[in-house]
Amino acid sequence: MSRFSKSILVLALFGASTATFAFDNYKGIGRPATPAEIKAWDIDVRPDFKGLPKGSGNVDRGQELFEEKCASCHGTFGESNEVFTPLIGGTTKDDIKTGRVKGLSSGELPQRTTFTKVATISTVFDYIQRAMPWTAPKSLKPDDVYAILAYMLNLAEIVPADFTLSDKNIAEVQKLMPNRYGMTTDHGMWPGAPAKKGGIGNGGIPDVKNVACMKNCKPEAKIGSTLPDYARNAHGNLAEQTRSVGPVRGVNTSGDAPAAQPAAGAASPAMELAQKSGCMACHGVNNKIVGPGFNEIQARYKDQPDAETRLVAKVKAGGQGVWGAIPMPPNSHLPDADLTTLVKWILSGAK
């Protein structure tokens, strides 16, 4: 073999190796993850409880934590529909026996709650641990999560009031989940391998089959539903929502429109701060949502000389009682300067 053909061979081998061992090309990119790093971020819990941390918590402790950290959005009994859809309700003793929530098919359910839907208790544990409470996600210790989940299970009448939930018995509780047999994967909308090949679903077979008829496809076009009158201007003046040049215009619906919505970008810096800080989730400017409207707060405190200092402290620490039973969560994560700006703004009329 000549030297020339040898070098061709070497080149060919090199080409093959780059294709096979792709990672070898990416030297210097990335670094090994340390065990501590993986532990810090790998917090997911699967339906087979892979990833579940050790720990336990009872219903009583769960109630304390729930009232302190969860009730402001979800209501003391997880029933609130004010901020999010309810967590608890709609399941029966019979559902716990059968593992199917009957209200889902009978049409008796006015609204689906978390426990009417969820089949896997791991999902609830995983989600509380990773995302709750709303304004301070990942602040709960595993024992807190067990306790809060125990309280929710008790509210749903799945476990008794003296129950302690732990990594040891959670698989037993799974067998009591009211909608544990309520899921199906028999559909064509999973974009991977089908169930018969270790994946999910039927391999992409659609559940409806339309035919592209072109002429005289039906005797008449029957209108089944039209836009209700009240919905015509429920999204503001449509004239402003289509540009004012081109083949069409937006229909003017301002004549009978409700109070004008604030134009985009027109919010004051303090209003933006209030939105950014999550205040507007529970307080309206002129209306109660979960907590009192800013107008009500201003009316109550406006003549008190120390109102600003007192309110800053209240917003920071949270509290309950002044405006009713629903507690306000603490906002200690907000800088003092922001708290002062917000309180001043509220006391000056939240304009």
Site for another protein in 38-77 (CB under 8 A): 38, 41-44, 46-48, 50-51
* Interface of this chain with another protein, residues 153 to 212, rule: CB under 8 A: 182-193, 198-201, 204, 206-212
Using the contact rule CB under 8 A, the part of the chain among 143-151, 159-167, 234-242, 291-299 near another protein is 234-242
Nearest CA among 133, 132, 118 for reference residue 88: 118
Of 1 and 221, CB closest to another protein: 221
**What are the beta bridge partners of residue 328?**
319
Nearest approach, Cβ of residue 228 and another protein (Å): 7
Q: Which is nearer to another protein, 191 or 335 (CB)?
A: 191
Phi then psi dihedrals of residue 71, to 5 deg: -65, -25
Q: Which stretch binds another protein (CB under 8 A): 10-18, 102-110, 161-169, 338-346?
A: 102-110
Q: Which is nearer to another protein, 140 or 307 (CB)?
A: 140
The answer to whether 176 and 96 have CB atoms below 8 angstroms apart is: yes
Select from 10-18, 114-122, 161-169, 342-350 the region that touches another protein (CB under 8 A): 114-122
Tokens of 203: 């391999």
User: What distances in angstroms separate CA 159 from CA 16, 30, 140, 155, 163, one per listed residue?
Assistant: 61, 47, 22, 8, 6
Degrees, nearest 5: CA angle 67-97-88: 20
List binders of another protein among 292-321 (CB under 8 A).
Answer: none
* Residues from 13 through 32 that contact another protein (CB under 8 A): 22-23, 26, 28-32
Instruction: Using CB under 8 A, pick the residue from 131, 161, 171, 322 that binds another protein.
Output: 131
Task: Identify which of residues 31 and 196 has a Cβ nearer to another protein in the complex.
Answer: 31
Dist CA 194 CA 102 (whole Å): 29
- Contact of 345 with 270, CB cutoff 8 Å: yes
Distance in angstroms (rounded) separating the CA atoms of residues 244 and 100: 53
Could you tell me how far CA 184 lies from the centroid of its own chain?
A: 22
Query: Can you tell me which of 273, 280, 285, 347 binds another protein, judged by CB under 8 A?
Result: 280
> Of residues 9, 12, 16, 234, which one binds another protein by CB under 8 A?
234
Q: What is the DSSP letter of 309?
A: H
Taking the least distance from each CB to another protein, the nearer of 307 and 328 is 328
CB nearer to another protein: pick between 143 and 240:
240
Smallest separation, CB 332 to another protein (Å) = 16
- In angstroms, the CA 226 to CA 208 distance is 24
